[in-house]
């Protein structure tokens, strides 16, 4: 019996289903996401009132032509990309924290960000930035393969080995990225490289929406379908094996899905940190229900967080724009410090 098949045959009581609280939170988050999408589209260097948005999208008048261009070519793709990237990173982080049983796990723990950075920086400095999403995705997958290869031993893939392998691979690919930048004669591409390394959604287009959307749909859908299996990882590996599930195979499969999801997000947004680290903790504190509800809540909170972080980043220093990775790092570090202080007080 396969790992996923066995998981689906478990009694529903194994998922700690509690129902209403989780549904209420998810409903509120979903409504908040819709409101946020509409509100974020109206904010920017050129403010667009709700009436103006409706007129620009529904009339052919030349008076609204500029507003329509701003909406269709800039605002809507950027806000949708922010929502999808935030959702994907948060979902990947929630899965990694559960699977690796490590509250500090996040998508970049497996070296995905550093691998994607190497691919992206290489094509930018070579002057073929057209292939940036593909190169970043390929770099992330290469780093993932290296991490999983190093993390596998005679006894299989253990949590400790995967984490240590991720640290080593991250350091190695970061060093290669620095070497590429150092050896490159192209100083014109340095600003674009810096924005990508800091994490930015300034280059969002309908292509990035498509890439992020397809990635979330495929790998996010697979992870949500595996929610009942993920719910078992609060047990020890021996207890999971006793249920007829191959723990190493299950963990490896889920890690690959989460890593591919994260790689797709990084390929269009750059290295945006802390979303996958902090959001799962917030979702776990809010949602009382099954693993499925916690994953959906993480997805929605991640989308909300990155929408508003990006909106703040592109409006706070007008006419300049702050890379959104800086904003999420400040928010994430602050939230993480608050969590640690509260936990310390509880333990006293």
Quote the Cα angle for 219-286-31, to 5°. Answer: 70
Give per-residue pLDDT as tens, 143-187.
988 988 888 777 666 777 888 888 999 999 999 998 988 887 766
Which candidate, 86, 347, 98, 53, places its Cα nearest to that of 212? 86
The model's confidence at residue 109, banded by pLDDT at 50, 70 and 90, is confident
Q: How many angstroms separate the CA atoms of 57 and 71, rounded?
A: 8
Q: How many angstroms separate the CA atoms of 231 and 245, rounded?
A: 13
Q: At what angle do helices 159-183 and 76-100 cross, to 10 degrees?
A: 140
What domain range includes position 224?
3-347
The model's confidence at residue 188, banded by pLDDT at 50, 70 and 90, is low
CATH number of the domain bearing residue 38: 1.10.3470.10
- State residue 271's pLDDT score: 85
- State residue 175's pLDDT score: 94
DSSP assignments along 208-241, one per residue: HHHHHHHHIIIIIHHHHHTHHHHGGGGS-HHHHH
Indicate the number of domains in the chain: 1
Prediction pTM value: 0.87
Peptide bond into 319 cis (omega under 30): yes
């Amino acid at each position: 019996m396969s790992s996923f098949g066995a998981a689906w045959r478990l009694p529903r009581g194994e998922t700690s289903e509690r129902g209403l609280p989780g549904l209420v939170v998810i409903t509120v988050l979903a409504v908040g996401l819709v409101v946020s999408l509409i509100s974020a589209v109206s904010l920017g260097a050129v403010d667009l009132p709700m009436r103006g948005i409706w007129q620009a999208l529904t009339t052919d008048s030349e008076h609204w032509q500029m507003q329509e261009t701003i909406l269709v070519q800039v605002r809507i793709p950027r806000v949708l990309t922010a929502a999808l990237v935030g959702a994907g990173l948060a979902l990947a982080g929630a899965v990694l924290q559960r699977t690796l049983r490590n509250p500090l796990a996040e998508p970049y723990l497996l070296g995905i960000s550093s691998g994607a950075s190497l691919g992206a920086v290489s094509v930018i400095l070579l002057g073929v930035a057209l292939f940036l999403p593909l190169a970043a995705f390929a770099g992330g997958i290469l780093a993932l393969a290296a991490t999983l290869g190093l993390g596998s031993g005679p006894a299989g893939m253990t949590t400790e080995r995967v984490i240590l392998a991720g640290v080593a691979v991250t350091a190695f690919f970061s060093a290669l990225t620095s070497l590429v930048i150092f050896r490159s004669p192209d100083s014109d591409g340095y600003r674009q490289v810096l924005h990508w390394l800091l994490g930015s959604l300034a280059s969002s287009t309908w292509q990035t929406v498509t890439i992020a959307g397809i990635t979330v749909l495929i790998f996010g859908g697979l992870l949500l379908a595996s929610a009942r299996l993920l719910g078992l990882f609060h047990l020890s590996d021996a207890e999971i094996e006793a249920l007829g599930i191959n723990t190493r195979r299950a963990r490896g499969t889920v890690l690959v899905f989460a890593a591919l999801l994260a790689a797709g997000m990084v390929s269009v947004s750059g290295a945006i940190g802390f979303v996958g680290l902090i959001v799962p903790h917030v979702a776990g504190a809010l949602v009382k229900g099954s693993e499925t509800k916690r994953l959906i809540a993480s997805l929605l909170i991640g989308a909300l967080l990155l929408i508003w972080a990006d909106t703040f980043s592109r409006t706070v220093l007008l006419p300049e724009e702050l890379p959104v990775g800086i904003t999420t790092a400040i928010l994430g570090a602050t939230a993480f410090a608050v969590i640690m202080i509260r936990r310390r007080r509880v333990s006293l």
